[in-house]
Structure 1
């Protein structure tokens, strides 16, 4: 099930500011995939996200979530760790393979340090226990958004640095005829 974004103001406020922007730089509404075999939890998460102006894709089980994670462009995935045939960990790995920029938040009713560590090592940005507190979920999504923005900025800066570090023989001053000849040859090769 896909829920469209709402026109109501976002209830996700911290210090009077919206802490998770519903749209990206391109003006497109962000899409969140939520996967849980518990209809009540899935619907509560979906309603919270929709009220914040996000598009929500719901998946009712592991296979459905896996399929939707690999065929849709999503900005974040919120998934139960323990699902039926395909686990939340498998969905996490599939979502990250599909798009490394996708952030994943794990939910579980059976929290343990081992499973939290495994989820974080696999690439989850956060690990929340059920019942889900909407404020914790909001903060986790804000961290996910901040991480995506940082990754994007790092990629942009790397691109700028790579362009600036290109060798330009025209920037070298040479006075000897032999050195000028070498620089002309380098310019032709480059």
Structure 2
């Protein structure tokens, strides 16, 4: 039975967590401090640790560091208030498996405990080193929520755990799936992706499992299915929620036995694959309504990764715009695509229901309609942005205001760097020190375009 150590200097929280986990079938131990927790870990065996970040004496971060020096594979989950999510992300960078934000529900805790214990089991069975990742596949992100996702990807990639990736349409689920494969020990073998909604059921079975010659009308030759093609690699089942009940049953059988049988054949073939799946639907609701098998859900959800929508990712919009503007400037032979402040104000006031996919489509369109000096103004914006953006009186006004402040600062710095030939002159124009300007340039990923080569050494902090 899975044993979980609960660490918190508040007895009421420990008791509440303990009751939740015991109701779910776990055994628990309790420690009122980091020192007490380390003593228990020396004396007893636990499968996971849940610790509060803020405690008297040894903090949750200090306890995490101490645990990782003793046992790198022991999963640690940190508890934090939502306002402290940045510190939770830092804890994950230092080795925490995941985090919980207060308040939380029993199902959230149970899901994370199941995931981290499965992770430990998998790591102990198959230790592996990461395969170098091509830079092109690294998603752009500055938001703490997405950084937390990417940290989890790095850890989960080293295992053979199945992963269910959820999120709205266009949030980048297929890119995360590819990232999981490319960071895994299976990276040298095939990555096979299929959209389960793209084919009718009678063709999907043949596509997934293959068929033999003569098994149905039109089957003039035998064909290998995608599961066989993915042998030793990874298969990604996008929109898995669209599978019919019959296909769900067949998929469950394959995932349980790790064997496939081609349509029309009596021969079974063993396969060695990792399974990733994605859905933009609430699978829990589909299970309750009888449209998705609960046993299949638990097969594909070894670990769940949820991708937040773009409207909840704060400054990621700026980074994504930068990246996409560079991409389409190169595609359409532009020197450097730039947005006017008016255009940017509209873009940050739009809610992006299609998320990153919609943003990319917009940027390509804007690249085509940019003026002869490579500036994108309001007249180059898509109709949807102009019609539905909320540049004022918006429910996202606070976030948009922060974004506009950062963007205004960036535009001012870009303008100064283009007009002056040295960093010092640009800094004087902006009314700031050279060190401050260098820091701002690093923050926004800017480089001087004039002739400040003689000033390329980072200035001292005394400027």
Structure whose alpha-carbon radius of gyration is higher: 2
Give the Å deviation of 1:93. Answer: 1.8
1:108 to 71, 80, 88: 80
Cα drift, residue 136 of structure 1: 1.1
Of 99, 117, 120, 2:71 maps to 99
Between the aligned partners of 2:78 and 2:61, the Cα distance in structure 1 is 9
Q: How does 1:53-132 map to 2 (within 5 A)?
A: 53-109=25-81, 111-132=83-104
1:143 pairs, out of 115, 122, 141, with: 115
Cα contact 1:33–1:74 (8 A) shared by 2: yes
Deviation at 1:42, TM superposition (A): 0.7
Q: Which range is displaced more, 139-148 or 47-56?
A: 47-56
For 1:146 and 1:30, the matched residues in 2 are separated by 10
CA displacement at 1:153 relative to structure 2: 2.9
Alpha-carbon distance change, 125 to 44 in structure 1, aligned in 2, over 3 angstroms:
same
| Residue in structure 2 matching 1:47, options 19, 25, 31 | 19
- Structure 1, residues 34-90: CA drift from partner, whole Å, max 9, x if none? 011222211111112222332211011233223323443211000000111001111
Q: CA offsets, 1:93-147, max 9 Å, x none?
A: 2222222221000002364242022110111111111223211111111220221
| Residue segments in structure 2 that go unaligned for 5+ positions in a row | 129-463
Query: TM-score, normalised to structure 2's length?
Result: 0.26
**Partners of 1:70 and 1:94 within 8 A in 2:** no
SS, match of residue 50 in structure 1:
helix
Once the two structures are overlaid, the 10-residue window that deviates more, 142-151 or 118-127, is 142-151
**SS of aligned partner of 1:32:** strand
Could you tell which deviates more after superposition, 144-153 or 30-39?
144-153
Alignment RMSD, CA only?
2.0
Q: Relative to structure 1, is the Cα distance of residues 123 and 111 closer, same or farther in structure 2, using a 3 angstrom cutoff?
A: farther
Distance 1:33 1:87 in 2: 16
What secondary structure does 2:126 align onto?
Answer: helix
Residues of 1 paired with 2:29 and 2:19: CA distance? 11
Provide the rounded CA distance (Å) in 2 between the counterparts of 1:88 and 1:125. 13
Unpaired stretches in structure 1, ≥5 consecutive residues: 1-28, 157-190
What is the distance in 2 between the residues matched to 1:69 and 1:147? Answer: 19
Instruction: Trace 1:177-188 onto structure 2 (pairs within 5 A).
Output: none
Q: Could you say if the C-alpha distance between residues 34 and 116 of structure 1 is closer, same or farther in structure 2, counting changes exceeding 3 Å?
A: same
Alpha-carbon distance between aligned partners in 2 of 1:149 and 1:75, rounded to the nearest angstrom: 9
1:172 corresponds in structure 2 to none
**Separation in structure 2 between the aligned mates of residue 68 and residue 85 of structure 1, nearest angstrom:** 17
Structure 2 match to 1:155: 127
* TM-score normalised by structure 1 residue count: 0.61
CA contact (8 A) 1:42 1:58 kept: yes
Map of 1:6 onto structure 2: none
Task: Measure, in 2, the Cα distance between the counterparts of 1:113 and 1:53.
Answer: 29
Distance 2:94 2:43 in 1: 20
